[in-house]
Structure 1
Amino acid sequence: MNNIQHELEFYQARLRTKCSHHRRSVAACLVQGAYVSELDRQHNRKGQEAFAPPWWEFFRFELTSNLVDDADSSIFGAIYEFKPASSKDSSVQDAPNFVVAFRGTIPSKESLAQDGLLDINIIQNGLHRTSRFAIAMRAVQNIVSAAKSSNVWLAGHSLGAAIATLAGKNMAKMGTLIETFLFNPPFVSAPIERIKDTNVKQGIRIASSFLTAGLSFALKDHHQERSTPDDSFAMLSSWVPRLFVNPCDFICSEYIGYFEHRNFMEKLGVGGIERLATQNSIGGLFLRALGKDSDPLHLLPSANLTTNLSPSPDFKIAHGLHQWWRPDLHLQSKQYHYG
């Protein structure tokens, strides 16, 4: 417990000199609170023995409720309410009233089976059909109805980022835009970004864009009665989630190429092809051709993409949540808008 407190105090002191990173760090710590809450449950740590509370109490949040999976009774998320000491507290500025945070996969025997099943659902574009997402979506809708959307944050890491992405997308389609922090969000694709040869990498992306756009055009006439991907993208374009990715993490690094490739195709004079390709995936198109609903999570029209360029010696560090509350990162941020 003392180690957690010392770590939080160290980062809080550093953050005072880098307030632009404060929101990212707070969101990451609240997601960590959801992780540790589940570990507390697994190890039967309660009351003063629990390790989780410092992760939210240090930033003056209170735990309103845990989100519990009905399949294995695991804690997969948390709802926090901001409780500043006074309205004059400097931390009140730009702070949300509520934060809904979702953890990622925990590799323990108590939770791995259900978490792993959900990971598979992400790959199969089926997360929206799971009971865990249904619970998460109801929680988000209830919080938004109780407070204005401008007073609510969504945050998640890895699997939790996928849940937050889908919840944020659904709310955006209903006209409600929520500030969203996505740490190492999954991008289901071949890890093209890991290819070192730039020409080979660009060649693969160009070929993929033309193939995806061609398949999309060919299948379009068969689904006129349904809402088209272009309609969905138009509804989502005003929602700008904050994505935090590491180029050494193959789970999320494809977001870098996904957004940069749009600009590259515009310069080549084939932006129309890419605009069609960027709102579809080959896997999603095949599922749609079979009459199945498919809305791949990684298809985002707009985003504020932050890349951690600090050294990451292994995958555990590159995919870890802990990197995002550090104040001494070498970060590069860029905003992308569809249209």
Structure 2
Amino acid sequence: MVWGERAGLDLGGARGSLRSMIVGICTGIPDHPYHSCTSDEREKKIKKRAIHVRLLYGMYDRAQDIPEAEYQEWWTQVHYQLLPMDSILTEDELNLYAPELEEERENQFFGVFLRKEERPSAEAPVWVGAIRGTNLSARALADLQNDAKIVLERLNPSTLIPLLYYVVWRLGELHGYCNVNVTGHSLGAAAGLLVCRRLALEGCVVEGHFFNPPFITLDSLARTCAPCVRQNDAAMPAGNRVLPAVADTDRRNRALAEFMTLDNWSPYLYVNKHDFISREFVSHFKKAIHETVDGNRRWYSSLTELTQRFVGETESYHPFPSAHLVTSYKHRTRPISAHMLWNWIDTHLKYDFKHFSLIP
């Protein structure tokens, strides 16, 4: 979210050596080594991750000032082609989304990929929308603004979201939602989750694979600081204590109805337990629920109501009842390393995988 994938990796020949390492791992992905995976369909879908990671790396490199031939290798070696927006949208749609398309051309947030017909495989989706994460370069300002919107749960009015939503919706309508995947890393994972969640509420289920999705909202930060607040609360004058938000019953009821509607959508979340930006998803889904959904506070936060008073209408991307949680325990010496995309590139990566549901 806050740090780009290239942070700490663009020094001298580091990027070249990293690319060489990953190319060596991923060359020929559609043909090997997935024949040896288990028969479980969910496990097979996890094997898509190396393809998704390559497409995301292509999005990161495309936003850098490097030769086009270099970043195209990320997707051409796994038999995908990047499509221009004018080949996906009609002329009327291009005019309708002209402001969003202009910002997309400037910042290059995401790309739409089509699998080439030669050498297809069951693990390679036909269509993929890939959204990069924060890029600490000349485009950093727009990315950092979106990062701040994640914390405030205000990513929904970003120009990225309406364009991404419409493109994914159109691909699904034209080619079938079962043939479309959405993937993203960090900031891109948050955007992808928001769009896929919105589509799932409309009955359009899209398979999503999201790497290191941020779980840093005002609610999560408040719960992290709660022990300190409780220790100091008694010593504080009553007038200085934080006032709880007044419950908005209608909003809460709408949120509960949405939550129950999403029981048929389970995104794939790739989380490293050492990643402080996304590890909250692990505890969010792994804590056992002994209450009814309506009485469980993990799916809804009254702080969202409080935020709404100051920043306007909010939209959360994390309240959904189930997920396929892919957890890696690989540890790196630098704290930020656990958030990096390259942790997920190895096709032989050891991980824990389990489907979790918050609905008893």
Q: TM-score, normalised by structure 1?
A: 0.80
Moved more, 278-287 or 240-249: 278-287
Partners of 2:183 and 2:21 lie apart in 1 by 24
How big is the shift at 1:240?
A: 0.4
How big is the shift at 1:51?
A: 1.7
Paired residue for 2:112? 79
Paired residue for 2:25? 10
Partners of 2:108 and 2:184 lie apart in 1 by 13
Paired residue for 2:235? none
Paired residue for 1:31? 56
- CA separation of 1:320/1:275 partners in 2, compared to 1, >3 Å: closer, same or farther? farther
- CA separation of 1:117/1:72 partners in 2, compared to 1, >3 Å: closer, same or farther? farther
Partners of 1:57 and 1:74 lie apart in 2 by 22
Paired residue for 1:123? 151
- CA separation of 1:128/1:55 partners in 2, compared to 1, >3 Å: closer, same or farther? same
**Could you say which structure has the greater relative contact order, defined with CA pairs below 8 angstroms and 6 or more residues apart?**
2
Q: Structure 2: which amino acid aligns with 1:120?
A: A
User: Is this contact kept in 1: 2:248–2:305, CA < 8 A?
Assistant: no
How big is the shift at 1:283?
A: 2.3
Counterpart secondary structure, 1:53: helix
- CA separation of 1:158/1:69 partners in 2, compared to 1, >3 Å: closer, same or farther? farther
User: Is this contact kept in 2: 1:309–1:329, CA < 8 A?
Assistant: no
Q: Structure 2: which amino acid aligns with 1:105?
A: T
Mapping 1:129-144, distance limit 5 Å = 129-144=157-172
How big is the shift at 1:291?
A: 9.7
Partners of 1:138 and 1:61 lie apart in 2 by 21
Counterpart secondary structure, 1:52: helix
Q: TM-score, normalised by structure 2?
A: 0.75
How big is the shift at 1:172?
A: 0.2
User: Is this contact kept in 2: 1:5–1:54, CA < 8 A?
Assistant: no
Paired residue for 1:210? none
**Which of 325, 339, 356 is equivalent to 1:319?**
339
Asked whether 1:52 is paired with 2:71, we answer yes
**Which of 293, 300, 308 is equivalent to 2:320?**
300
Q: Structure 1: which amino acid aligns with 2:171?
A: I
Paired residue for 1:286? 306
- CA separation of 1:288/1:115 partners in 2, compared to 1, >3 Å: closer, same or farther? closer
- CA separation of 1:334/1:290 partners in 2, compared to 1, >3 Å: closer, same or farther? same
Partners of 1:314 and 1:6 lie apart in 2 by 20
Q: Structure 2: which amino acid aligns with 1:122?
A: I
User: Is this contact kept in 2: 1:284–1:294, CA < 8 A?
Assistant: yes
- CA separation of 1:111/1:286 partners in 2, compared to 1, >3 Å: closer, same or farther? same
User: Is this contact kept in 2: 1:84–1:92, CA < 8 A?
Assistant: no
Q: Identity of counterpart residues, as a percentage?
A: 23
Paired residue for 1:197? none
Partners of 2:166 and 2:224 lie apart in 1 by 35
Runs of 4 or more consecutive aligned structure 1 residues displaced over 6 Å after TM superposition? 191-194
Q: Structure 2: which amino acid aligns with 1:177?
A: V
Deviations 1:197-245 (A, max 9, x none): xxx8xx99xxxxxxxxxx79x7254x27x86111110121211000001
**Which of 214, 237, 258 is equivalent to 1:186?**
214
Unaligned 5+ segments in structure 2 are 1-14, 38-43, 86-99, 232-243
Asked whether 1:157 is paired with 2:188, we answer no
Deviations 1:105-164 (A, max 9, x none): 0111x1111100000111111101111212211211221122100000000000000110
Counterpart secondary structure, 2:147: helix
Asked whether 1:259 is paired with 2:288, we answer no
Partners of 2:47 and 2:33 lie apart in 1 by 8
Deviations 1:19-69 (A, max 9, x none): 545301111111111111111xx34x24xxx32111111111111136956
Paired residue for 1:98? 127
Instruction: Report how many aligned residue pairs link the two structures.
Output: 304
How big is the shift at 1:71?
A: 7.4
Q: Structure 1: which amino acid aligns with 2:261?
A: M
Counterpart secondary structure, 2:273: coil
User: Is this contact kept in 1: 2:27–2:77, CA < 8 A?
Assistant: no
Deviations 1:266-291 (A, max 9, x none): 2xxxx226753122124213235679
Partners of 1:314 and 1:334 lie apart in 2 by 27
Unaligned 5+ segments in structure 1 are 195-199, 205-214
Counterpart secondary structure, 1:190: helix
Deviations 1:281-332 (A, max 9, x none): 2421323567943232222211001111122222332011111111242211
How big is the shift at 1:7?
A: 2.9
Paired residue for 1:22? 47
